[in-house]
Amino acid sequence: MKQPGNETVDTVLKKLDEQYQKYKFMELNLAQKKRRLKGQIPEIQQTLEIRKYMQKKESTNSVETGFLLADNLYGKASVPPTNKVCLWLGANVMLEYDIDEAQASLKKNLPTTTKNLDSLKEDLDFHQDPLTATEVNRVRVYHWDVKRRNKDDSTKDKA
């Protein structure tokens, strides 16, 4: 069994590279989750505002609106009065709610999403330290090996 300290430089660098790749992969996943949550918060707020607008317009026959079909392409629609709405839950799932249930659900999800975003920011900050330490260790080992090889070459030249 090999004892610590008896490994070759290539083995150590390979282990550090693997560790670095794992940290970068985790960082990428956390950053993607952060972007997704950052996008969800304005969507929830906008949906709550739309709910307020619909509540004000309940007495009218219908509401004229524009809706997004594709990037920079909108359609017009006349929405009849209703007491039901559909909310996207994710993973291609949409669920129909009563308007009051939808509002309660959205009001509950907004602080939860904000809390999750704050937690993710802390996780990313915490994750940065071992990532930086691994980068520094890779550089130190590499430079140590370069100095060692230069020293070996200079002693061979003298002999």
Per residue in 47-81, pLDDT (tens digit) is: 889 888 777 766 667 778 888 889 889 999 887 87
> Taking the alpha carbons of 96, 99, 105, 107 in that order, is the dihedral positive or negative?
positive
Q: Are 99 and 51 in contact (CB under 8 A)?
A: yes
pTM of the model: 0.70
Query: Right CATH number for 10-57+83-147 from 1.10.287.130, 2.20.28.10, 1.10.287.370, 3.65.10.10?
Result: 1.10.287.370
pLDDT tens sequence across 72-81: 899 998 878 7
pLDDT of residue 80: 82
Domain boundaries, given as residue ranges, for the chain: 10-57+83-147
